[in-house]
Amino acid sequence: MQIIGEKINGTRKQVAQAIVERDAHYIQHLARRQAEAGSTWLDVNAGTHPDREPDDLVWLVSTIQAVVDTPLSLDSANPQALAAAIKIVNQTPLINSISGEPQRLNGVLPLVVEYGCPVIALAMGDRGIPESSAARVEVIQRVLEATRAAGIPDERVYVDALAMTLSTNTQSAVIFCDTIREVRAAYPKVHCNAGLSNISYGLPARSYVNRAFLTLALAAGLDCAILDPLDRELRATLLAAELVLGRDSYCLNYVRAYRAGVFTPNP
Amino acid sequence: MQIIGEKINGTRKQVAQAIVERDAHYIQHLARRQAEAGSTWLDVNAGTHPDREPDDLVWLVSTIQAVVDTPLSLDSANPQALAAAIKIVNQTPLINSISGEPQRLNGVLPLVVEYGCPVIALAMGDRGIPESSAARVEVIQRVLEATRAAGIPDERVYVDALAMTLSTNTQSAVIFCDTIREVRAAYPKVHCNAGLSNISYGLPARSYVNRAFLTLALAAGLDCAILDPLDRELRATLLAAELVLGRDSYCLNYVRAYRAGVFTPNP
């Protein structure tokens, strides 16, 4: 399971302020803590000001790279910002993201090809996010036709079936899981990613919903998630789910994590 | 989802002591708390002393019935104990349990027929608990042949595919879930039950494992479980899992439970 640490995101108020004020200390603190918690990638999102985004993203990347070695996930739909940041990264980054929207696909795909990056592909077309899993699979098929045509092997594509909040559609997690089951069957080499906490937006006690969704999505084939790696309950849930799914030989990962104090004993 | 409250069990030290000392106060306290927490049934297990079991089970049943109306699950493999207790219950009890073992089937089934009870059927044959899900399904088929031949409708049978601890077989939960998926497909009217906490016996931080197992078993078709109804984290997990599985219209159960203080806000 790959974890993309979600905390360095300019749409969060404190991060936005740190970006404006060039508060390297705050950003580096978030980077260090997420790296120590075992993140595979650190997401880097500079927020939504198109004119400032390239400079802000470049500052974030160099600020983070000064203190951690964890590869970065460059989170932007703006080809200019991505192009500026990609030139200064120390390690090949994950590009977050392309989609079935022609503008986004045509704008970002050339960078993915040029720099040999892995890339997140959203199940979103030019008419928005399809309602059904069948229609989401169709969008993914079209994106994968484009990535294959560009010479990108499937194992570099992280399909994101788009977890939408249950508060407006209670079938949302079912649609997500159905989509990745179908994608996994048709394209066994792609990765499947989720922006985990979106599933519970607007609901109370979100953490329980996020944990149940993580467990069920893992069963359906999820192997990557954007989440808060500092959430100990979520890490315990992940370890327990992998154990229950029969993916932890001799319970070694679970017992080792327990002994290392990753999660607390029975409450 | 039906909940069988597990706490009145004579194999637990404090309950065994309360039975020996005829400590009605302690037993009634457990009964009241489990009933208030929403148990569908209260399991009543008098322990493993064959000579004392009929008297002890009768005492437990009358002691519990004096304070709560919740129907009981009579938990014994001893036909004499069951026959004694079944005569004094106020409401039709769940019988826990029959199995594919001929002695147990022949001893208990006549009581199930005579009193029109629902019954738990364990996936265990005369050569123990089969390793594979296919072999467990075969045992269940044989038991259901017997219950059908005895005129018991499938909807009165609670199939228990036997959750065994992951600490000795990491495929144990997978086998359990595969079994109930097959049983559900072949016998859509039966219920599927689990003795939830068995899955984590011998492991540390068992609660996380139990919660992950509950979530995945619900997805596979579980609709009844023997568990600790006083475990708030487990109840929150159940509500969250049903929401994520698309079984909570308008998120009403989840939001109502939150407002009623059933579980705490995000940690």
Q: What is the pLDDT of residues A215-224, one digit of tens each?
A: 999 999 999 9
Shortest CA distance from B207: residue in chain A: A266
Number of inter-chain CB pairs under 8 A, A vs B:
128
Q: What is the pLDDT of residues A88-104, one digit of tens each?
A: 999 999 999 999 999 88
Q: What is the pLDDT of residue A125?
A: 93
Interchain CB distance below 8 Å, B255 and A171: no
Q: What is the DSSP letter of B255?
A: H
Q: What is the pLDDT of residue B93?
A: 98
H-helix or E-strand spanning residue A97: strand A94-99
Q: What is the pLDDT of residue B183?
A: 98
Interchain CB distance below 8 Å, B255 and A204: yes
Section A71-92 average pLDDT: 96
Q: How far is CA A218 from CA A211, A214, B174, in A?
A: 11, 6, 13
Q: What is the pLDDT of residue B264?
A: 64
Q: Give CA–CA dist A19/B28, Å, rounded.
A: 60
Query: How confident is the prediction for chain A on average, in pLDDT?
Result: 96
Q: Give CA–CA dist B173/A215, Å, rounded.
A: 13
Tell me the shortest Cα–Cα distance from A221 to chain B, in angstroms. 13
Section A69-88 average pLDDT: 96
Judged against a pLDDT cut of 60, whether residue A265 lies above it is answered with no
Q: What is the pLDDT of residue B263?
A: 76
Per-block mean pLDDT, blocks of 10 residues, chain B (267 long): 97 96 98 97 93 96 98 96 97 96 92 97 94 96 97 98 97 98 98 97 95 98 97 94 97 95 65
Q: What is the pLDDT of residue A174?
A: 98
Please answer whether residues A157 and A147 qualify as being in contact, where contact means their C-beta atoms are separated by less than 8 angstroms: yes
Interchain CB distance below 8 Å, B265 and A204: yes
Whether chain B has a CB inside 8 Å of the CB on A243: the answer is: yes
Q: How many residues does chain A have?
A: 267
Tell me the shortest Cα–Cα distance from A95 to chain B, in angstroms. 29
Q: What is the pLDDT of residue A263?
A: 76
Q: What is the pLDDT of residue A48?
A: 80
Tell me the shortest Cα–Cα distance from A36 to chain B, in angstroms. 21
Interchain CB distance below 8 Å, B209 and A264: no
User: Using a CB-CB distance cutoff of 8 angstroms, which residues of chain A are in contact with residue B204?
Assistant: 254-255, 258-259, 265
| Nearest by CB: A166 against B208, B243, B259 | B243
Provide the ipTM. Answer: 0.94
Residue type, B145: E
Tell me the shortest Cα–Cα distance from B261 to chain A, in angstroms. 11
| Contacts (Cβ under 8 Å, ≥6 apart) of B24 | B63, B66
Whether chain B has a CB inside 8 Å of the CB on A176: the answer is: no
Section A133-146 average pLDDT: 97
Q: Give CA–CA dist B149/B171, Å, rounded.
A: 34
Interchain CB distance below 8 Å, B255 and A174: no
Q: What is the pLDDT of residue B50?
A: 84
Q: What is the pLDDT of residues A162-171, one digit of tens each?
A: 999 999 999 9
Please answer whether residues B5 and B39 qualify as being in contact, where contact means their C-beta atoms are separated by less than 8 angstroms: yes
| Contacts (Cβ under 8 Å, ≥6 apart) of B103 | none
Give the best residue of B208, B247, B256 to mutate against chain A (max A CB count within 10 A). B208
Q: What is the pLDDT of residue A40?
A: 98
Strand bridging mode B2-5 / B224-227:
parallel
How would residue A264 be classed by pLDDT, with cut points 50, 70 and 90? low
Q: State the CB neighbour count (10 A cutoff) for residue B69.
A: 8
Tell me the shortest Cα–Cα distance from B218 to chain A, in angstroms. 10
Q: State the CB neighbour count (10 A cutoff) for residue B260.
A: 8
- Please tell me the number of Cα atoms within 13 Å of B163 on its side-chain side: 23
Judged against a pLDDT cut of 90, whether residue A119 lies above it is answered with yes
Q: What is the pLDDT of residue A178?
A: 98
* Alpha helix stretches (DSSP H) within chain B: 13-20, 24-36, 53-65, 79-86, 102-115, 133-149, 172-186, 206-220, 232-244, 252-259
Q: What is the pLDDT of residue B134?
A: 97
| Nearest by CB: B212 against A167, A215, A265 | A215
Give the best residue of A168, A177, A203, A208 to mutate against chain B (max B CB count within 10 A). A208
- Residue A119's nearest CA partner among A86, A80, A70, A90 is A86
Q: Give CA–CA dist B194/A191, Å, rounded.
A: 33
- Read off the pTM: 0.95
Count helices and strands in chain A by DSSP H and E runs = 10, 8
Please answer whether residues B113 and B151 qualify as being in contact, where contact means their C-beta atoms are separated by less than 8 angstroms: yes
Judged against a pLDDT cut of 90, whether residue A50 lies above it is answered with no
